[in-house]
Amino acid sequence: MEDSPPHPPCSDTTNKNPGSASSTAPVTNSKMTSLIRQPPLLFPATARHTATVIFIHGLGDTGHGWASAVENWRRRQRLDEVKFILPHAPHIPITCNWGMKMPGWYDIHTIDGNAESLRKNEDEAGILISQAYIHGLIQREIDAGIPAERIVVGGFSQGGAMSIFAGLTSKVKLAGIVALSSYLVLSLKFAELVPKPQVNQDTPIFMAHGDSDPVVNTQLGKKSYELLKEMGYKPTMKIYPDMGHSACLEELDDVEAFLRQRLPALGKEEKPEL
């Protein structure tokens, strides 16, 4: 996946292929009176469904932007038991987009490549609303019979940031977390927001970043990795040479390898234990 064509002033997407909108119950916060959520894009398991991956797109994108990556993994037939859920962010006012609405999981004040800009004036209310939504997606899979330890949450950029936050604050033990070109949100108070006991303290976290990222500075990604390690979590990090704010085939292959490791096929006779 190469860098995408130009986007709105502070979009962090790599692909754009918007879908149609449909509404659900409104959710309120300080910046809007309601959120209109489109149902997630679903890729059912091609074999018996024993595991689920929830993959969350970046600012200005939709779940459709990552459909080609899922289709590529599907062609390899190595994740046949995995259902993929690609949720769509609601359209919300984005400060660095002059207050105009675009798909986003939380508001962003500045995207200028500065390692500290994304940490200033963080939209805690928006982050917590998206956290609750992602936790709801996880719970739906559990209610449908998939054990939490057969569920991976991942994402790109803003979606990767939400994956780390929602994954580590989940009250159920997950199989893994994937965070591409992203960072730790609410880092200054993160420890206060993690429920006790910390059931995901040992959950593997695969972090990846391009060394030429002009949007989410590589140093912010590295700093987030170090902060997570200092707090006792289990992240690994890989830096890809000459990659900007996008994804490359090598990175997608590494994500696939991580998913295969964390969600191995159970076979026809084995059943996941609840």
| Residues catalogued as catalytic | 157, 213, 245
Distance of CA 54 to the CA centre of its chain: 8
Q: Distances in Å between the alpha carbon of 50 and those of 134, 152, 155? A: 19, 12, 21
Identify whether the C-beta of residue 208 lies closer than 8 Å to the C-beta of residue 180.
Answer: yes
Nearest by Cα to 1 from 47, 48, 66, 46: 66
Q: Quick one: three-class SS letters along 201-227?
A: CCCEEEEEEECCCCCCCHHHHHHHHHH
Question: What is the rounded distance in angstroms from the CA atom of residue 204 to the CA atom of residue 268?
Answer: 26
Residue 194 φ/ψ, nearest 5 degrees: -85, 125
Which residue type, as a one-letter code, is found at position 223?
K
Question: What is the rounded distance in angstroms from the CA atom of residue 208 to the CA atom of residue 84?
Answer: 20
Residue 34 φ/ψ, nearest 5 degrees: -160, 160
Alpha-helical (H) ranges within the chain are 67-76, 124-143, 158-168, 190-193, 218-230, 249-262
